[in-house]
Amino acid sequence: MAGGFKVLDEFLGDSLDLPVRCTDGEVRTFHIPAPSAEDGLLVQSVMEAGIRMAAEGATPDTEVLDDARELDLYRTALGTAYDDAMTHLEWPRFRHMAMTAVLWITQGMDTAEAFWNSDGVPSQAAPNREERRASSRAAKSTRSRGSQSGTSTQPATSRARTAAQT
């Protein structure tokens, strides 16, 4: 008996479908199947190596992967969609689609969707500084509800009492 756990494939998506305008002007939906467990672990380890390098202060131009290993990573992430994507896409769209698949494999559907919809600019996926400040100001300007216990205001401080007596 599984107790309160649902059957995993009832709620976990096992593929990714990405619509892309191809070099011929047509919009094609590329179906990216879930990788095998071994391939998923490989993609995860490559991403972790990149994160570790960044945390250790590697210079921004340090390559985590050479070009051949980058294409191998993309082939692994895209699975059966790789050859079709290579045929129909130019590099920027191919790379965006492949990076979306990598993020889907390593961080889940929500992160992949945010990356896809931000045109590959992670800073656009998160609220910018101005939006965060505006929401913070709105939260601070929201008045709290009055007391429901019958009291009206907090007692005056001693400085306020002294000023009122003079």
Count of all residues that appear for the chain in the document = 166
What token pair was written down for 18? 């990405």
pLDDT of residue 128: 47
Contacts of residue 89, Cβ cutoff 8 Å, sequence gap at least 6: 20, 22, 23, 97
pLDDT tens, 95-143?
999 999 999 999 999 999 999 999 777 555 555 445 545 555 555 555 5
% of the chain exceeding 90 in pLDDT:
45
**Whole-number Cα distances in Å, 26 to 19, 22, 23, 29, 93:** 10, 6, 7, 10, 13
Query: Is the separation of the CB atoms in 16 and 78 below 8 Å?
Result: no
Q: How far is CA 115 from the centre of its chain?
A: 6
